[in-house]
A and B are shown apart, each in its own frame.
Chain A
């Protein structure tokens, strides 16, 4: 059985949909801005599901009114990291919420090898399972190609 038939990781919102166009991304950003969320851009080359904290690309963008500002920053991130995963993250600062409320991937490397399941035989008949991203077999900086 293939565990990754489409060779795309699925994390965050819209990840089962085709890539969002920039116009669609703008609409999502505007939706968030209308609710007072602060958008930020994060990137990584290790898409392991437990890799929660990606690198920040610049500061979170507070006090924006229009999607064009976020899109401007996104384009510059895509130019800098064309072969990384890039996601847009919306932070809701409302008291009591104070957490990330939207997150979706907006850029992927051209090749996504996916994950392998590693079985470690423990004591007795115990087996411990772990996920291993094939992409991390290569050192940082060479993972995109």
Chain B
């Protein structure tokens, strides 16, 4: 072709774009830049095969203990997204689905972990471009004086573009008792971006169930923009024990004979106490057991330690816990 690769604006060959900043042109441009990874697939397995999303979902199933309703829900969402992708390939639907979610549940039930996996799944299916997770709380969004909140919130939103914005304890954003609270401003900016830039980022709000319900009741705009509400159940004792074993295995530790039963008893005591944070409490308990194991081994200076001894948690390491002592002091806590 003899045509030059450039054109001078104002001459015969028109520039491909109108005035800079034209809204519709910007929108189509952004859409064109975001080519879905599976734009020619016509079967579910083709989409899954090209996107590798199945691998992440299987990993989620395998790695996370319990959480059956959450896993089922994520499979549903993934299925919907795959079908949407197929529909889009056939030209049936052009509108991007709303993917904002709310994760409710007690502390330590795996909300952040699932959010991380969710970001990966959405990325593999082509619904977010980069698939990173930006975890923030009220402090990162709300400013301290007039005019501070908007830039602060926008900065966080900019960082989260192309990925997932995870707002932990989102209900702190809204403080009805203080009518001049800047949290409302952050919510408004958030709502605007959630609505207008649906294909640029996905927002996940997380927190306790009852307080999130109150939050949604007082912010109907927020509630109506969130398509998926996932409730994270507490772990059953058997699941907590399984989590403990996996955590230990990850760090090359294991329960010695009798330690597993001791830990089960520990859990039975601990779950009844205040501030029990499910998997997080399990992790902390194990960290303390490792401390006790270390000081037990440390006490005997001259002994030659085997790998076996170095990697096993003895029942005494667990039974030395404060939880058992409290139970001894009050022999019948039920009454």
- Report which A residues bind B (CB closer than 8 A): 6-8, 16-24, 26-27, 58-59, 61, 63-73, 75, 78-79, 82, 106-108, 110
Contact = CB atoms under 8 A, between A and B. Distances in A.
A66 B129 contact: yes
A106 B161 contact: no
B307 interface: no
5 contacts: A16-B6, A26-B33, A59-B151, A69-B161, A110-B19
B8 A6 contact: yes
Given A16-B6, A72-B158, A78-B20, 11 more contacts: A8-B9, A19-B15, A21-B25, A22-B26, A26-B30, A64-B158, A64-B159, A65-B132, A68-B200, A68-B201, A70-B158
Interface of B is mostly: loop
> Top 6 A-B pairs ranked by shortest CB distance?
A66-B162, A69-B158, A23-B29, A68-B161, A69-B161, A78-B21
Interface string B187-227: 00000000001001100000000000000000000000000
Nearest to B129: A66
B130 interface: yes
A68 B9 contact: no
Contact of A82 (B21, B26, B30, B197): B21
Given A23-B29, A27-B33, A61 B158 contact: yes
B163 interface: yes
Given A7-B10, A18-B9, A58-B151, A65 B162 contact: yes
B30 A23 contact: yes
A19 B10 CA distance: 12
B163 A66 contact: yes
B129 to A, nearest CB: 6
Interface size class of B (residues with CB under 8 A): 20 to 34
A65 B156 CA distance: 12
Contacts of B132: 65
Nearest to B31: A23
Contacts of B161: 64-69, 72
A108 B151 CA distance: 25
Contacts of A21: 16-17, 25, 29
B159 A106 contact: no
Interface in B1-39: 6-11, 15-17, 19-21, 25-26, 29-30, 32-33
Contacts of B163: 65-66
B155 interface: yes
B157 interface: yes
A23 B32 contact: yes
B21 A18 contact: no
Contacts of A72: 154, 157-158, 161, 197, 200
Contacts of A20: 17
B130 A66 contact: yes
Contacts of A75: 21, 26
A105 to B, nearest CB: 10
Given A82-B21, A106-B20, A107-B20, A69 B159 contact: yes
A27 B32 CA distance: 11
B26 to A, nearest CB: 4
Contacts of A23: 29-30, 32-33
A68 B34 CA distance: 11
Contacts of B17: 18-21
A41 B219 CA distance: 34
Nearest to B8: A6
A18 B10 contact: no
A22 B25 CA distance: 8
